[in-house]
Amino acid sequence: MYFPLMLLAIFLLLDAMFRRSQHVESFANCFAGLFQLISKGSDRHAFRTLLYRSYMSFLLFAYVILAVQSLTMFDCVELSGRLSLRAFVQIECFEAEWYRYLFTSILGILLYTIGIPALLYYELVKHQFGAGPRAVDVLGYQVMSYREGYRWWDLVILAWRLFVLVILRLMGSVPIAQLVLFLTLLCGRIILQRVCNPYVKPLNNRHDTTLMTLTLVVAVSGVTFFAGGEQAMGAPVTKLLLAICFVGISGMFLVIGLAMVTVYREERHRKTTEEFETEFEVMRAEAGGDDAYTQLVDDHHCTEPTTSLPTAPISGTGLSSAFVKST
């Protein structure tokens, strides 16, 4: 539970070291391998923004784990006629030793379970839900992957995860209600995803819907298996349910793998586009503007790309090689 605070302290230390390296030459030389690399084309503000975005990404990624740890003190189970913590059965709930850890649990709930969604909402409002000038720098490209008007979707995902966590961890004493609520949340998430289609790209919407559907299939198969019992259902039905679970889990991994490949390709294309645009702007500035750049291309007998540069830029390396060959 204290790891995010330790990570925050490390990031603050890095920020202080970076600030120090800009003013004290001897200090900068001690960390030349790190800070001189970062300092090229950068400043303290850009470095601080990078640290903040990295920390935000970590908090969102670790939200479920942090929320689980915060709620551990309220996850009690009855053993031998007494309530004990599920994680530490030696500790009886609502007894003296239990109250020693209560403050830490409440602090975790305020900082993580409630604090992380509150921080995300604050940043979304501050940067006009992705419309602000520095929204991408602070919130990352994930925000821009949602359609305009749905850039609060990460808050919905965090709330959904929290509800699932509460149901699975704190409702173990009423298993029927626990299963019904869990399956209801899964169905509700699928319907909401289909109705809203929050992502700009239809492929991302299909990925999310497919993952939730496969999760529902695996959950229903597992519930049927444990409710009926292996002996009551017989070997054929048991094998069928296990096969459905295996196919569903394999499909989930496949969808996740395809999504990762898609993100990698899009990121590589984005970087290539940015590199070309930067190189093109430098060449145009050196040539003296658009007209001079066109004349320079004609003088060297080069053919400009027929594709519109802003919509489908070509590789900057190819453009440079054309000039080299022509000279």
Q: Which two tokens stand for residue 265?
A: 């390709």
Domain identity same for 192 and 250: no
Check if the beta carbon of residue 224 is closer than 8 Å to that of residue 234: no
Position 100 in a domain: no
Full domain range(s) for residue 165: 145-198
pLDDT > 80? residue 239: yes
Domain identity same for 159 and 190: yes
Report, as an integer, the average pLDDT of 76-103.
Answer: 86
Position 246 in a domain: yes
Domain identity same for 183 and 218: no
Q: Which positions ≥6 away from 221 have C-beta within 8 Å?
A: 241, 244, 245, 248
- Rounded-to-integer distance, Cα 270 and Cα 274, Å: 6
Q: pLDDT value at position 228? A: 63
Share of the chain above pLDDT 70, in %: 75
Check if the beta carbon of residue 70 is closer than 8 Å to that of residue 109: yes
Domain identity same for 182 and 211: no
Position 45 in a domain: no
Domain identity same for 206 and 182: no
Position 47 in a domain: no
pLDDT > 80? residue 191: yes
Q: pLDDT value at position 322? A: 39
Position 104 in a domain: no
Question: Per the structure, how many domains does the chain have?
Answer: 2
Distance separating the N- and C-terminal Cα atoms of the chain: 63
Beta bridge partners of 199: 146
pLDDT > 70? residue 82: yes
Domain identity same for 258 and 173: no
Domain identity same for 156 and 216: no
Q: pLDDT value at position 221? A: 85
pLDDT > 80? residue 300: no
Q: pLDDT value at position 41? A: 45
pLDDT > 60? residue 39: no
Q: pLDDT value at position 310? A: 43
Domain identity same for 165 and 214: no
More confident residue, 28 or 246: 246
Position 160 in a domain: yes
Domain-ending residue, one of 168, 198, 228: 198
- Rounded-to-integer distance, Cα 319 and Cα 323, Å: 7
Question: How many CA within 13 A on the CB side of residue 303?
Answer: 3
In 3D space, the residue among 107, 110, 121 whose CA is nearest the CA of residue 151 turns out to be 121
**pLDDT category, 311, cuts 50, 70, 90?**
very low
Domain-ending residue, one of 198, 222, 242: 198
DSSP 35-93: IIHHHTT--HHHHHHHHHHHHHHHHHHTHHHHHHHHHGGG-EEEETTEEEESS-TTSBT
Domain-ending residue, one of 198, 226, 241: 198
- Rounded-to-integer distance, Cα 283 and Cα 269, Å: 21
Domain identity same for 228 and 251: yes
Q: Could you tell me where the DSSP H helices lie in the chain?
A: 3-21, 25-30, 37-39, 44-61, 63-71, 96-100, 102-108, 115-126, 135-139, 141-144, 153-170, 175-196, 202-228, 230-233, 235-287, 290-299, 316-326
Position 182 in a domain: yes
Domain identity same for 205 and 257: yes
Position 311 in a domain: no
Question: Which of 46-60, 258-272, 296-310, 313-327 bottoms out in mean pLDDT, i.e. has the lowest?
Answer: 313-327
Q: pLDDT value at position 232? A: 61
Q: Which two tokens stand for residue 104?
A: 């830490």
The DSSP 8-state label assigned to residue 113 in this structure reads I
pLDDT tens digit sequence for 244-278: 989 999 999 999 898 888 878 887 887 888 777 77
Element holding 129 (H helix, E strand): none
Domain identity same for 226 and 258: yes
Domain identity same for 205 and 193: no
